[in-house]
Structure formats: structure tokens, C-alpha cells
Amino acid sequence: MTEFDTRFEDTGERRRTSDAPLSIHDLLDGETVQSIAQEAWSALVGDDEFLVPLPGGLPDDALSSWVEIVGPWTGTVVLTCGRSTAEALSRALLKEHAPPVLEVEDIEDALGELANVVGGNVKAVLPGPSVLGLPEVGSAPTAGSPADTCRVDLLWRGESLTISVQGAAGALTDPHENNQNEVPL
């Protein structure tokens, strides 16, 4: 068995719909999210590009990219930073392949791809089977319950960015609260 097989071995654990909903805090922590993001930064942005776990303020023009995960845990992985940071990230990602003038579409595409890579690797540490959605870019989606949100505040080249793994709104409600389809015994 390879190291990869061991990392992603199917444990055989399966869940019923009647099981209590999963909270993201039961599944991963901020250190794991930061580690996943750092791996993406090192490989795609640059070997010597580091994410420092320090909070900083996001500017008013913040831009977000996100991917949805649907499975035993359902929610979104959201990457948010200022527009100038997003442009710098795009240039770092594209390196010598960057066009002389970056269009808005180039920046949104690059930020979306970073969310896609981080989201795909977050999905890998969550219980499966899960489906990964296509990346979207814009204003951040509505935050879910704080009890189902794992947010890390980071600095890259001194600029703030956040990565939030947040449950879908209402995902933590009791599954028996809306049981109109259940037939009473």
C-alpha cells in the first residue's frame, strides 16, 4: 500500500440521513486548512511564498472566490482578499506566462482556480463521497452558522486574506425538525 493509499484509504464508515448533522469543527481545524492552503501556495504561487497566520483587515473592495462541497458535510470553501492582492496573486500564479495587462477575467479566473485547488484538497479530508462544484467569483456568499465555520486569517506578502470553510445555511438544523414526509406510527 502506498503512502497515498494510506492517506486516502476508505474507512468503510457510512452515515445515515438520520445521523446528527456534521459540524466542520468535528472534521477539520484551522491548522489543517492553513496547511492545505500553504501546500497550494508553495506549489502554484512559489516555493518561497508563505502564508502567515495573523489577522489583518480586509479592504472594502474585497473579492471572494469559492467552491461548493456537497456530501455528508455540505458547504463552501471561500477565499477572500483585496483586489490588489488578487491581482498580485494572479501574477505570481501565472509567472512568466502572465499577459502584460491582466484583465478582470484573468484575475477572477486565477482566484477561482486557487479556491478550486484549496477546496479540492479540503474535500479530500472530509468524509465522502462528496461532489466538488465549479469555482465562482464575486462578493462572498452568505456566511453560515459560526458553529459550522472554520475560518483562518492569513497574511500573504503582508496583505490580508481569509479562507473560510463554512457550512451551508441551516445545515446544522436537526434533521427531524422538518419531517413532514415521515409517516407517524
Partner 1 sequence: MRALVIDDSRAMRRIVTGILEGLGYEVQQAGDGREGLDVLDTGWIPDLVCVDWNMPVMDGLQFVSAVRSNPAWRSVTIMMVTSESEHTQIVRALAAGAHEYVIKPFTADAIRDKLALLGLLPEEAVL
Residue 27, phi then psi, degrees to nearest 5: -110, -35
Residue closer to partner 1, measured from CB, 38 or 145 = 38
* Cα-based angle 32, 162, 156 (whole degrees, multiple of 5): 90
Q: Is 112 in the site for partner 1 (CB under 8 A)?
A: yes
Considering only residues 66 through 105, tell me which ones interact with partner 1, judged by CB under 8 A. Answer: 90, 93-98, 105
**40 near partner 1, judged by CB under 8 A:** yes
| Stretch touching partner 1 by CB under 8 A, among 4-12, 19-27, 147-155, 156-164 | 4-12
Spatial distance between the Cα atoms of 82 and 2, rounded to a whole number of angstroms: 41
Question: Counting contacts by CB under 8 A, is residue 124 touching partner 1?
Answer: yes
Q: Are 61 and 39 in contact (CB under 8 A)?
A: no
Binds partner 1 (CB under 8 A): choice among 53, 55, 129, 175 = 129
Residue 88's φ and ψ, nearest 5 degrees, are -65, -40
How far from the centroid of its chain's Cα atoms is residue 157's Cα? 20
Q: Which is nearer to partner 1, 34 or 145 (CB)?
A: 34
143 binds partner 1 (CB under 8 A): no
Stretch touching partner 1 by CB under 8 A, among 54-62, 133-141, 156-164, 174-182: 133-141
Counts for the chain of helices (H) and strands (E), in that order: 4, 7
Give the Cα separation of 178 and 138 in Å (integer). 32
Q: Which spans of this chain sit near partner 1 (rule: CB under 8 A)?
A: 4-5, 8-10, 39-40, 42-44, 90, 93-98, 105-106, 109-110, 112-113, 116-117, 119-121, 123-124, 128-130, 132-135
